[in-house]
Structures are given as structure tokens and as C-alpha cells.
Structure 1
Amino acid sequence: MMLFSRIQTIDLILIKFQILICGNFAKPVCKFKSSDTVKSKTKEEMASHSKTKSNYKSLMKKGFFEIAATLLHRVKSTSQLSDEEQVLYDMCLCRLSFLPPIDLTNDYCRILSTSQSIDQSMAPIVAEQILRHLKSKMFNHKHSKLLEYFAGNELFTLYLQSFFNVDISIEHKIRELRTTILDLSNDVFSCNASYYNLAVSLAIQACHSDYILDISEDELGKLATLEHECREKETDDYFEKTCFIKLAMYLPPTENLKQKFNSINSKTKVERKLSQHIDERLDYLGDANTVPLLFSRGNIKERAPVTEVKSQYENYPFPRWSNVLTSKSKRTFREHMEHRESSNKSISVPDNIDILVAGCGTGKHVISLAERYYYSTITAIDFSATSLKYARMKVDRATYPDIEFYQADILELTNWERQFHLIESVGVIHHTIDPIRTLKVLVDLLNQGGWMKIGVYSRLARRYIEFARQVIAEENFSDDIEGMRAFRNFVLKSRETSDLRKLIHYADFYNTNHLKDLAFNACEKVFDIPQLKAMLELLGLEFRGFQLDNKRHLSKYRSIFPEDQAGINLDNWASFETENPDTFIGMYQFWCKKK
């Protein structure tokens, strides 16, 4: 995800203008008046209130979550939201593209502390809210004041516990805070509950980020002393948990130290959360042979040795995630496509479909499908045993039925006697040696008239990453954790205006596994729209439109090409992308249908 401050500023001006012109139709309705007023409430007022709710939904449907959130916030400031309005409001807050000119601190504290339906995609907005408050504070480089402020900042600690950080300014604060805490005496540290809870939150953050931050020589020396102290106390009944927490802010705990920490009785809520994250990390990085092979091991041995790509995802499973941002309205795939293709009301698929996720990674995609559609079965394959173990662990905890995981390479599926109504392969094909051959295997597994959703990198949108990969090769950065840390420091020292510096606006820059996938991938190919068009024609697939997270792009496209409201003309899209090169900043994600 890339965040351009210039684009955000333009959007902020636009939203302020839209809020002003839309304000009249969405005046807050006060629902708590005197009993006489309530009794005399007319049908016209009820209808007006209903229409207002409809307007919120209309705005959300068009992707204007910022406007809807601002209007609902206005209602909330004068009266209590109804249950339906609260659901709409929270949905908006979880899907904002930028922060409206309102204070959402309390709302995000409530959501992060009570909801399981949060997602890493929310991190930039929460970070922006934190920084908005921080800009008004002046610490004059006094570490004690900085520590006191952040230890008492509920939203900051919840942010550390919920996401991996995605902002360079907050990264600087994290570095400063953990150094300050490392230097505190254990007596001061253990006696101050807010300092201790902040340190535990920083330890959770380190786990979320897969320990991406580098460690200074001075810090390494102090950590070595702490580790020695922890080892010395391992055979004693007393365990100095403050030493453990200080270590965990920097380094992944060893199995022995983790067991010592887990043996502590009466853990606080935040300590239990840290234990869970550490346990998960050690579990999925342990023995990964827990997911069955789709075909016999003999067939696997006949293939070439393990590729660099497979080795990468065994050691750096991707993506790392905790929760999935779920939809409140589950529906059939047919209903979804009929809604998407409003001009086509004859989508011929059953209510409960068979789905294949080809290249499921760590399972986030699988769970999002299980949340979105009614299905008969979901079959998920990946060639990384570590990623599959992570996925299986997450799905088992959520108790989704009829989801099967198998270890397999897509190219091994040529003789597989299965057929599917829907196949999704997002972020996979561009990491294969032969993308067209790989896609051909998947097309053969698709029912006649079946649907596919494909995601591949855009050459234009990926231009800064391609430049970064060139720099990595030229400067000979290694692809291990130390090499990635060195590369990050190289980026942070680059000129503010350089193309390399733009990497700090990518969320993946702030997590080890994600940075590995972003800039150090062992095999990566990029595409343009004419290539997609030729590839689909060759494979007998009909293009049925892009899946755009930012619906403003589609609105802009339709205004430029009014004759193509369905958005299915690839030649038009090629022209549009040339003028708007960051349209597909994540990747091309598009629907197609087997002819």
C-alpha cells in the first residue's frame, strides 16, 4: 500500500467541499428528545431518518467512506447512534483511505480494544491519528517526558499491539522509546505499570514486524548482559520477567525463555497477548510437515530441487496477519457477481460453489473468501509448508468448515481430476517461471463458464520497486535479515526527493517478511495491460473488469470513458493507466470468465 501525501491533500480538500455541499441532506437526527416530542414524531420524520441512512449506504457503496464517517460522526456528537448506524460508522472507520478532519481517537481505541474484525490495512489511518496529536506535543528531547506521554497514550499502545507499524515517524519514536526503556533500572521499570505495559506493547510490535528494526552496537552489548542474566535465573524459581520483556523488544525469544515467561501465573491481558504472538511465531517456524501433500511424495521427488522462491516462503511466510476485516453481509457468489455485473442477471453458478485458491500463502485470502461467500468447499494449495502451517493454524482457530489445505506446485495439477466454479490466484503468477503455462493449468481446472480472479504486478505502478531491486543488486545487499536492515538504513539515508526514498510510503517496508516479498523476491515479473489482453485471448478467457480497492479510480475512468460504464475495455484502461500510473499500486486484480 502506498500513501502519497500530495494525493491525500487533494482528497482532503475534495472531501471538505463534498461535506459542505452534502451537509443539508445528512443533518443529524436527534433521537433523544422529550417524551412528548418522541410521541409526536411524525411518519415524515421517520422517513427522513430512513432516507438519511440510505444516503450513508449510498456514499459507502461509492467508496466515499470518509464523507459517510464524517456525517455519522456529526450525528454521534449530538445523539446516540442506532445499532445500524453504529455498524455503518465502524465499517467506515475500518475502510478509510485517509483521515477526515475530525478526531477519531476514542473511536479507534474502542474498535481496537473490543473488535476482532480489524485488519493491517487500518494501520495507516490509526498512525495518522496518533501523529496528528503528537504534532501538538513538544518534548525538547527529554526522554522521560516522551516515555511518560506514550506510556499514557492508549491509542498508541493499542496500535503497537494490533498492527505492525507503517510510518517512519512512529518508527523513530519506537526506536527512542525502546532505548529509553532498556536504560531504565529494573526497579524503576517494574514499579511503573504504565512503563511496563508500554514495553510489553513494544515487544508485541517487534513480533508483528518480524524484528525488522536494526540494533546498535551499544544496545547489543546491553542485550547480551540481559540475556546472560536471564540464563542465570533459568534454574531458579524466580524469573526476572522485566529482563525478558526488554529482550523481547529487540529479539525473538528462545524456546527456553518463552517457557519461563509462559510459566508466570496471573498474566495481565497484554502479557497474554505477547505470549500468544510468541507462541504462534515459534509454532509456524517449527516442524512444518503438518499439511498433506496433494500428490505422492514420490512425484514431488521427481521434480527439480526446491526453488529459491519456495525456500523464500518457507523462511519468510507471507503475508503476516492477525485478523481479517470481515464483511457483515455474506452472500452467494452469484449474488456478488450479479451485483457487480448489473447488466448481466444470468450468472449461471450454483448457490454453494467449489473454490480453488491457487497459491494461498498464509491463508488470509482463504478466510476472506469464507467470510464473503456461501460455498460448498474451498481447496487451498501452496508449495510452502511453513505458509500452509500458518494458514491451517489460523483457519482451525476460526473453525471454518470444509476448507482443505494441500501442499502442491500449480504445475503439478495438470492431471488433477477436479473442477471448480471459481479459481482465485492473487499475487502468485508473477512469481512463477512461466506465467502463461501456470495459468493454462488453472484454466483447465475451471468449469465451462467458470470464473477466475487473477492478481499480477503492474510494470508502471511497480516502477519504484523495480528501481529498488536494481539498487539492491548493484549495492550487493544480502537477502537475509541483516541485509534487509542494511538496505532499510540505505533507503533512510537517501535524499528526500529520490525515487528510492519513496519506499518508506509502502507498508511492506516495515516488516521483515513483507520487505522480503516487496524488494528481495527471488523471482518477480511485471506486466502491462496489453500483455494481459494478449494473455487472456491466448487462454480463452474473457476480461470482466478490474477489482479496484479505491472506487474513485473507477469513477474517474467512467467519466473519461462514459461509453464503457462496465469498465471492460482493456485498451481504454491502458490509456487510463498511462495518465494515472499509480492506479494499480498494489497490483492488477481482475475478473475473467472461461469462454
Structure 2
Amino acid sequence: MTTKTKRKSSKKTKPSFGSAKKTIDSTQQEDSPAIKALLESGVAFHNKGNMQQALDSYKSVLAMAPGHPDANHLLGILMNQTGDSKSAILLIRKAIEKKPTAAKFHNNLGLAYKLDRRTMEAASSFRKAINLDLAYAGPYLNLAQLLTEEKKYTDAIKQYEIALELATDKSGVLTKLSSSYLEQGNIPKALENAENASSYLLPHFMEILHREMDSVIAASDEVKTLFKIGIIFQLFSMPYYAGLCMIKAIALDPNCAAAYGQFTSIASAKIMPTKNNIHAALIEKTTSDILARNDMKHDTMRDQVISIIDIEGAKADIDAFTITSDENALSFIQENQRLLEIFSTHCFLQLLKSSSINNLLVEKLLTKIRRCLFFAMLHQDSPSQLTDQFGPLIISLAYQNFLNEYVFFIDQDELFSIDAFEEKAKNNISDNTSDAILYVAMLACYRSLEYYPTISEMISNRQTPSMSDIEGLITLQITNPKKEKEIAKSIKQFKVIENITSKLVRQQYEENPYPRWASTFRLPPKSPRIIIAKGIYPNLPDDSSTLENPRVLIAGCGTGQHPISCAVSYANSSVLAVDLSLASLSYAQRKADELNLNNIEFMQADILDLGGLNEQFDIIESSGVLHHMKEPIAGWKVLEKLLKPNGMMKIGLYSELARANVVASRNIIAEQHYPSTPEGIRECREYIKGLDDNNIVKSVIQWNDFFSTSMIRDLIFHSMEHRITLPQIDKILSELNLEFMGFCVFNGDCKSRYLEQFPDDKTATSLTNWHTFETQFPNTFKGMYQFWLRKKAP
């Protein structure tokens, strides 16, 4: 501890603006009742996140009482929270002119200066606040954070230690102390403070953490220590430092699968920034290493890779490239170092080969470069000069277009030229030219190789030069589809599917097996109880649930990613996975065979017929399936009867509130008569991309499903879709003998915000409260409601 000055406790503990309500000066007796009422109203709106209403209230106060210090201060806070730091500085300065000794005014002025990147003035304001009120924890925390960002870790630690003495929220300060020690390289002190912070967590979650630590296989105690600190940071919503712990652990032990898995989980929720970051090279290497592994889910790394290539920073170059004529496009790209740098970034090329891209700017760039190189190769006698510069990109593009099922727009010029390009490719293959590989790869950018019969036959018969550079592509587009056709003959069928709606849904997925995927998580198996407990935290599975050696049913398994993940993750499990679509099941069985899994069985069946199964299950999961049935509750009742007493069930259903843009999109499709063919889907996507940003339909671009043919078909073209509300779910559960155990929510700190708003619901299981929360934040369940249930014992 660096100071002996006696300080009183303060409620202001977070290094942020905190609650607007706490900033009102209760001694402002000269305010009229009308002004006080307006100010209180503004604060109420502000705390609920209703920024426009809060803005109107604060401005109304200032219209009635120009120069009102609290109104200027509160309005300054709001401006800074919405990114307008310059206005915030002016407003809070005005407040300080009236009340120069208000410590909180100076503290929040410091935060506005910090956002405006005026760090010296920010530090000065924080120190003024400290001098005005030695018992006020806020400016110590904010000054410490500023010093941390300036890499002055020793000085930051001193400020955090003072704040720790004052703060009521000890855990928040302890985690920040831990992060500074981590940056300083003092791992033992980082662990000490992180463990002290974790003592404030719910006891049963600490039990889960300890069990998880026991399952971590690491090369040294230091690796395990970093892993543990990282997990604690995750629990306290500090994703950057959680990720930093994992990449440091991986650097010490490149075989620590658990650390890779946690990093992907962190990066999928919030990217690890690399710009102006001393850890940038390590972050990029870790990202590349993950994409080189086949036991990680690569689509979790999309946003991280897009951040690494800084695609937004290249927007002007991309815009210029896309409007360049065909005659000049190749020379433009060959001379543009910024775009060439993107095309040569290793982790970017890796991602193209293993996951569909979910970024419009990247799509715009890839669509143009595909066209550019296509016509360059078509019109040149030999494209060999392109091989060194663009060969790896063309091959990666072929993977990408196959994975997204050729969702990128193809114009008429390209369509009309494909036959001529195919002839040129055949000639190069026949002549055994070194360019043959590039021609094959470029054709695969427009259509799967299995749809070029002659070329496919020549490749299969190896009447070609060495194809080692595209062996994986050949496997993906020729070998695997052949395997799946053979596998389909051996998939067990439970009963002939007769339900009309089920037949329609099956047809969609026979045409578009959903989704295409290359890899999934294969981490050391854990007790299902631990996995479920992490999902429904802060609740806990009932002790009566028998989850050891579980028999698991996946009802609606698609192409297998879900059941394979369960078969790998749930210790000592055996899995039965059923689906309507034979094409999806064949894909799933092929993937399971590749992974040598012997605890999973696939079967073609309609959920409505599963009542004829002569067994019950410990765990049943059905995600994104019931809402595609004509009568979802009928299917749900079948599943409930198949669940053992005290068994656990995970359900995924579409939210009515979260899918307003999907409903609007479906209406557009009906009005414009877009067919659910690949061509119709591509045309529809172009129409949506061209809409005004304020059009609700345009917002479907925010969904990952927009970037794959089968996924967007499932999103907005589906032949049958129901949506539901939480009150409706509550009513259904009361009829089904199922107890709600908790949501699996994946969007950041959603549960912590819920618990702040509803502190009495300590298990976060009140569907009434969640409905209130979702009404305030309609995107909470943008993907789906995903939740666990327990079947009540008789």
C-alpha cells in the first residue's frame, strides 16, 4: 500500500460513468419541482438505456435553466457514452464552472478526455478528482486504467491498491489488479488477486471451475495457472485479458487443447484487437494455429481474422477496385499493396478454406477478385505469371465458394463464359500443363467439381499433372460427395416419413444439407453435469439428474456438427442422432467416420414417429427443429415422453421479438417472387444489400446465416417457420411436466446485466423477468432461445 491517508468508503467503484442516478447533487435546493422531476425522469431513461428520451429530458432542463450544472454534467455523460467526446468535454466543463469542487464532475471530464485521446488532460482531471475527494474510488480506478494502457504497470498497481481499500465492489478492483500484474509478467500475483476476486463468485460455480481445472492437460503448472486466471477473467466479463492468458498459455504449451478451445470461445464473443497491440504477433500466430487444427470450430475465428486483416481500413481500396473495369482490374490489384497484403495473410487464406466468411466488405472484395482472375485466365495464353502471386488465393477461393455454396453473386458475363473456361481447362489438363491446377481451382470457384463430369473423371482417373496442391479440394468436391452417396444406402430408416409438412421440410434439406462444416470442437470429454452447469449459470442441475454414462438423443441433427460435438464432449456417452434428410445424415456419418467415433448412431426419422422407440434418454437436445414442424408442441410432447424422469432437455426455438427483420424479409420474398433456387437466393441477397440502411430487412445482413446458400434459405426462405414468445413458452412448460433450468446466452455480458436488473432472481430462471428484459433488448435472443429443462419426477 502506497499511502496512509485515511479514506472513507465510497460507492463509486467502477472505472466508468456508472449509474447516472448517482451523479445528481441532492443539495441542489434551488431547483424547482418541475426541473427536479425532469432531471429524475432523464436519469430513469438514462439508466434503462433509453438515450433519446434521456437526451430530451436533459435538454428540457437546460432550456428552463441554462447552465444547470447537473443537467450539463448528465448530458455530458450521455454524449460521451454515445461517442461524442468533444461535446461531452464542453458540457462537463460548463458544469465545473458552476461547481468547481465536484469531484465526480472532474472524474467524468477525465473519461471524456480519455475517449478524445487527450491522455495528459485525462490524467490531470482524475488527479483533481482525487484531491477533491480522497475517499472517492472512481478516479483512482480510472487513473489506474489509463496508466495500464500507457504500460506503466507499477504506477497502475499502486492506484488499484488504493481503490481496493475504498471500493465496495472488491472483486472488480481485484480482477483489474490481476490484469496489471499479468501485463507486468508477475503471474503469482496475478493468480493471487484473481483467486481473491473469485471468492465473490457463487460457491457452486467455484466447484465447477475446480473440476474443470482438474481436466486440463497442460505441460506445466504455469500453463494451468494462466488458464485458471483466464477463466476467472471470463467470469468477470474481461474477455481481452482472458484471451491474453490463453495465448500466453499456448505460447508455453502449444499442445494445450483446452487453452485453444477457450481462446476460440473468447474470440467468437469479442475479438482480440491487434492494432497498436504489443501482443499482435502472438494473437495472429495463435489464430493461425487454431485454424490449422481439426479439433477446433473454425467459424468462431471469423471476426478475429477479419480484425487482423483490418478490412475496414482497406474499404477505400476495395471500393476503388470494385469499380475498376475488367481491362484494368488485374493491373490495379497487382499494384495495390494494401489488398495484396490481405490476400497474402496466412490466417485469412486458412479461414477461406475452413469457414464461410460473414462480412460484406470481404465478400465484395472476393467477388471482384474472382471475376478479375477468371477473365485474366480466360484471355491469357498462359496464366503462369499469376501462379506465384495469386495461386494460393485462387485455391482458397475455391474452398470458400464451396463452403458458402456459391452464394456470391455471379453476373451474366461470368455465366456465359464458364463453358469456354471449362474447355480451356480441359485442354490444359490434356496437355499436362503446369497451369492445369489453377484452371481446376478457378472452375471450382463457380461450381463444385462434381458438376464438371469430364474434368471430374479426368481428375479421378488421375489423367492430370500432379494435383498435390489441390488434393484437399478434390477430396472436398469430388471424393466426399461420392462417399456420401454410398453412405446414404446404409443409413437406417426408422419409419417411412408420411407427414406432409415433414416431407416438405425434408425436401429442402435434401437440396441444401445444412450446414456445410469443416471442423468442430474435440476437447477432452467432461461430465455432462459440468457442461450443463456452465450453460445455465448461475443455476445448477438438480442432484437427482442422472448424467453419468448418459444415453443422448439429438432430435434434428442436420449435417452432424451438433451430435458429434455431444458425442465427443459428454463423457461416457452414447448418442442417437435423427434427422429427416438423408443427404444431411450421410454428410454427418461421413464426418463421424473421419473422426473414428463409435459412440454415435444416425437414423432417418420424423420426430412425430419417435414415440415408437422402445427406450428413454438421459439427455435430449433439439435445437432449431421444433419451430419447423406444423405443430411444434406435438413434437415437443413426443420428446418429453422419451426423456427419463429427472433427465435434461435442451431446446432451441425462434424468438418472435428477435426475428422482426426475418418476418419482413419473408414478406419481401413473397412480394418479389424470389424462388428458393441458388439463382433466386443470389438475386434476393443483392436486392437486400441494395436497400437503405434504415430498412428493417437490411438488418438480416447481421446474421451469419446471410452468408451461405443453405443457411439463408433456412433463415428467410424456409417452407415452415413458427416463432414464439417467452410467455408462451412458460405456458407450454406448465403443461409438459418440464422445469425451466436456464438460458444458454452467448452474447457477452447478457446474464450479468439481467442479474443487475433482477437481483432477486438469483438463478436467472424467471421467464416473466426474462420477457421484460427481452422487451427492452429485443436482440438478446437473436439466434434462438436456447435453454435447458429438467423433467420432473413422478
TM-score range for the pair, normalised by the shorter chain length: 0.7 to 0.9
Of 344, 349, 355 in structure 2, the residue corresponding to residue 152 of structure 1 is 344
Secondary structure at the counterpart of residue 349 of structure 2: helix
Whole-angstrom CA distance in 1 between matches of 2:456 and 2:286:
34
1:450 deviation in Å? 1.2
Whole-angstrom CA distance in 1 between matches of 2:430 and 2:188:
74
Correspondences of 1:142-291 after superposition (within 5 Å): 142-146=332-336, 148-184=340-376, 185=380, 187-189=382-384, 192-231=387-426, 240-253=436-449, 254-262=452-460, 263=462, 264=464, 266-269=466-469, 271-279=470-478, 282-283=481-482, 286=485, 289-291=488-490
Kept after mapping to 2: 8 A contact 1:72/1:85: no
The 10-residue stretch of structure 1 (535-544 or 116-125) with the greater mean CA deviation from structure 2: 116-125
| CA 1:285–1:255: 2 relative to 1, 3 Å | farther
Aligned match of 1:574: 771
Of 158, 178, 182 in structure 2, the residue corresponding to residue 25 of structure 1 is 178
Q: Which amino acid aligns with 2:299?
A: Q
Tell which has more relative contact order, 1 or 2 (C-alpha 8 A, sep 6+).
1
Kept after mapping to 2: 8 A contact 1:99/1:129: no
The 10-residue stretch of structure 1 (140-149 or 548-557) with the greater mean CA deviation from structure 2: 140-149
1:395 deviation in Å? 0.5
User: 1:487-545: per-residue Cα shift (whole Å, max 9, x none)?
Assistant: 01101111122112112221111111111111111100000001101111111111111
Correspondences of 1:482-493 after superposition (within 5 Å): 482-493=679-690
Whole-angstrom CA distance in 1 between matches of 2:715 and 2:533:
35
1:82 deviation in Å? 5.3
1:168 deviation in Å? 0.4
Residue 451 (str. 1) matches residue 648 (str. 2)? yes
| CA 1:344–1:257: 2 relative to 1, 3 Å | closer
1:551 deviation in Å? 4.8
Kept after mapping to 2: 8 A contact 1:453/1:589: yes
1:314 deviation in Å? 0.6
Whole-angstrom CA distance in 2 between matches of 1:425 and 1:491:
31
Secondary structure at the counterpart of residue 143 of structure 1: helix
Secondary structure at the counterpart of residue 474 of structure 1: helix
Whole-angstrom CA distance in 2 between matches of 1:536 and 1:357:
20
Of 250, 255, 263 in structure 2, the residue corresponding to residue 92 of structure 1 is 263
Whole-angstrom CA distance in 1 between matches of 2:423 and 2:226:
64
Whole-angstrom CA distance in 2 between matches of 1:43 and 1:232:
66
Of 292, 315, 322 in structure 1, the residue corresponding to residue 518 of structure 2 is 322
The 10-residue stretch of structure 1 (144-153 or 249-258) with the greater mean CA deviation from structure 2: 144-153
Aligned match of 1:371: 568
1:476 deviation in Å? 0.8
The 10-residue stretch of structure 1 (573-582 or 151-160) with the greater mean CA deviation from structure 2: 151-160
Secondary structure at the counterpart of residue 789 of structure 2: strand
Secondary structure at the counterpart of residue 593 of structure 1: strand
Aligned match of 1:477: 674
The 10-residue stretch of structure 1 (459-468 or 223-232) with the greater mean CA deviation from structure 2: 223-232
Residue 101 (str. 1) matches residue 273 (str. 2)? yes
Structure showing greater Rg: 2
| CA 1:86–1:117: 2 relative to 1, 3 Å | closer
User: 1:529-575: per-residue Cα shift (whole Å, max 9, x none)?
Assistant: 01101111111111111111235111111111111121111111110
Whole-angstrom CA distance in 1 between matches of 2:273 and 2:767:
37
Kept after mapping to 1: 8 A contact 2:181/2:190: no
Kept after mapping to 1: 8 A contact 2:387/2:438: no
Residue 67 (str. 1) matches residue 241 (str. 2)? yes
Whole-angstrom CA distance in 1 between matches of 2:482 and 2:493:
23
Whole-angstrom CA distance in 2 between matches of 1:107 and 1:43:
24
Secondary structure at the counterpart of residue 187 of structure 1: coil
| CA 1:63–1:423: 2 relative to 1, 3 Å | farther
1:66 deviation in Å? 2.8
Residue 295 (str. 1) matches residue 490 (str. 2)? no
Aligned match of 1:35: none
Whole-angstrom CA distance in 2 between matches of 1:248 and 1:53:
42
Aligned match of 1:527: 724
Whole-angstrom CA distance in 2 between matches of 1:69 and 1:226:
46
1:65 deviation in Å? 2.8
1:23 deviation in Å? 4.7
Kept after mapping to 2: 8 A contact 1:421/1:450: yes
User: 1:340-382: per-residue Cα shift (whole Å, max 9, x none)?
Assistant: 5666662330510100001111111001111221134211111
| CA 1:90–1:475: 2 relative to 1, 3 Å | same
Kept after mapping to 1: 8 A contact 2:514/2:710: yes
Secondary structure at the counterpart of residue 551 of structure 2: strand
The 10-residue stretch of structure 1 (527-536 or 131-140) with the greater mean CA deviation from structure 2: 131-140
The 10-residue stretch of structure 1 (238-247 or 517-526) with the greater mean CA deviation from structure 2: 238-247
Kept after mapping to 1: 8 A contact 2:315/2:361: no
Whole-angstrom CA distance in 1 between matches of 2:448 and 2:226:
51
Whole-angstrom CA distance in 2 between matches of 1:407 and 1:86:
34
| CA 1:9–1:131: 2 relative to 1, 3 Å | farther
Whole-angstrom CA distance in 2 between matches of 1:46 and 1:127:
32
- Percent identical pairs in the alignment equals 26
Q: Normalising by structure 2, report the TM-score.
A: 0.66
Whole-angstrom CA distance in 2 between matches of 1:47 and 1:417:
53
Q: Which amino acid aligns with 1:248?
A: A
| CA 1:477–1:534: 2 relative to 1, 3 Å | same
Kept after mapping to 2: 8 A contact 1:288/1:386: no
| CA 1:273–1:95: 2 relative to 1, 3 Å | farther
Q: Which amino acid aligns with 1:193?
A: D
Q: Which amino acid aligns with 1:91?
A: Q
Whole-angstrom CA distance in 2 between matches of 1:338 and 1:101:
30
| Alpha-carbon RMSD | 3.6
| CA 1:567–1:208: 2 relative to 1, 3 Å | same
User: 1:292-342: per-residue Cα shift (whole Å, max 9, x none)?
Assistant: 34435xxx27655962211000110112211113445x2122344456566
Q: Which amino acid aligns with 1:26?
A: S
The aligned length equals 573
Whole-angstrom CA distance in 2 between matches of 1:387 and 1:282:
12
1:456 deviation in Å? 0.5
Of 198, 207, 229 in structure 2, the residue corresponding to residue 55 of structure 1 is 229
Q: Which amino acid aligns with 1:174?
A: L
| CA 1:323–1:285: 2 relative to 1, 3 Å | same
| CA 1:310–1:30: 2 relative to 1, 3 Å | closer
Whose helix proportion is higher, 1 or 2? 2
Of 109, 112, 126 in structure 1, the residue corresponding to residue 305 of structure 2 is 126
Q: Which amino acid aligns with 2:348?
A: F
Whole-angstrom CA distance in 1 between matches of 2:760 and 2:643:
31
Q: Which amino acid aligns with 2:263?
A: C
1:111 deviation in Å? 2.5
Q: Which amino acid aligns with 2:467?
A: K
| CA 1:241–1:293: 2 relative to 1, 3 Å | same
Of 426, 429, 446 in structure 1, the residue corresponding to residue 623 of structure 2 is 426
User: 1:231-255: per-residue Cα shift (whole Å, max 9, x none)?
Assistant: 5567666693332222112222224
Whole-angstrom CA distance in 1 between matches of 2:333 and 2:386:
18
